[in-house]
Structure 1
């Protein structure tokens, strides 16, 4: 988890990666409406796919342009969590994914959110995002549109469904495993003495 003080660049708000994260955030309610109300699965797939691509792109651009920011460090994983949560609930409601997977992944995020609240009170920043955590998010964000496409008819569904299942199984496994790694960071932080307030 982050304990480093911010420099001036860390406090920037208007950066290209942050704009992409805000656009992804706007896609969350749109995706839910398309999938649950309008039943426009094709457009819902497009929104999910765009969310997955821009998730990869904002991290890449942050590195290429040197546009790291404190807001981006908070916003990017928060939008990832919202995308995953909304997709899980929507696909669970449509009976495309089993409810045990929904419960397991939501429970993982709730436990880590509670851990983060405790860490903040002890003066720590957010968890440092690991490559395994990013890989799990990537796999899930690609599994969801593939699983949705796999519910349609035609040759594309025959290809999408097994790919979606593979991405989903590996994504769930890595998501839970990375949650365990974050929880280990939490336990180690609790063993350190609390720094006195200035």
Structure 2
């Protein structure tokens, strides 16, 4: 689930890879590094049941994920390091968030399995993409919308687990975003699989 510099789970060669070199420690890459540093902080806050602060960390992570991609594309700061670092940070945050929220009973384990199963579906395409050296399908609007909903919903669910005047509102909005995000996440996965299937058919057709 990423809207930053990185792509989806399946990786492969791309025709528009950024050149080697450039300023490695630019703002987008520093933001990705910040998300990596915050992963153990988030886990520690969950373990100590500081759910409000853990929700705030998730908000910061979501904002940085959005900002690093926008800044990188706007100012031409996309680097190969960023394309590797951004999805690594995202995957660690997604794993930590899903397992952590389920462990503290904020979300059910079957929801975790449903989201993991979608990524497993994408991973099954990796050998074919790798073998045929297919380009990476672009992240479409559905995938970006899924990311937005999930990254917005999980912090609200955490904040809704804390006693406050806004608890009911946070829970209602959080679950609405998570349900929409889960549906869109699977829809994006199906679209991605369809794109890979079409590229495989075109590649095999041109090889005949």
TM-score by length of 1: 0.86
Are 1:119 and 2:129 counterparts? yes
Partner of 1:80: 90
Structure 1 window deviating more from structure 2 (66-75 vs 23-32): it is 66-75
Gaps (5+ residues) in structure 2? 1-11
Q: Distance in 1 between matches of 2:128 and 2:81?
A: 20
Partner of 1:29: 40
Partner of 1:155: 165
Structure 2 CA distance for partners of 1:5 and 1:11, relative to 1, 3 Å: farther
Partner of 2:187: 177
The structure richer in helix per residue is: 1
The root-mean-square deviation of aligned C-alpha atoms, in Å, is: 2.5
Partner of 1:105: 115
Provide, for residues 94-129 of structure 1, a one-character-per-residue CA deviation record: whole Å limited to 9, x for no partner.
221122211010111122123234312322354422
Q: Distance in 1 between matches of 2:144 and 2:95?
A: 15
1:155 to partner: Cα distance: 0.6
Partner of 2:66: 56
Structure 2 CA distance for partners of 1:90 and 1:194, relative to 1, 3 Å: farther
1:63 to partner: Cα distance: 2.2
Structure 2 CA distance for partners of 1:171 and 1:190, relative to 1, 3 Å: same
Which of 1 and 2 has higher RCO (CA within 8 Å, sep 6+)?
2
1:188 to partner: Cα distance: 2.0
1:185 to partner: Cα distance: 2.0
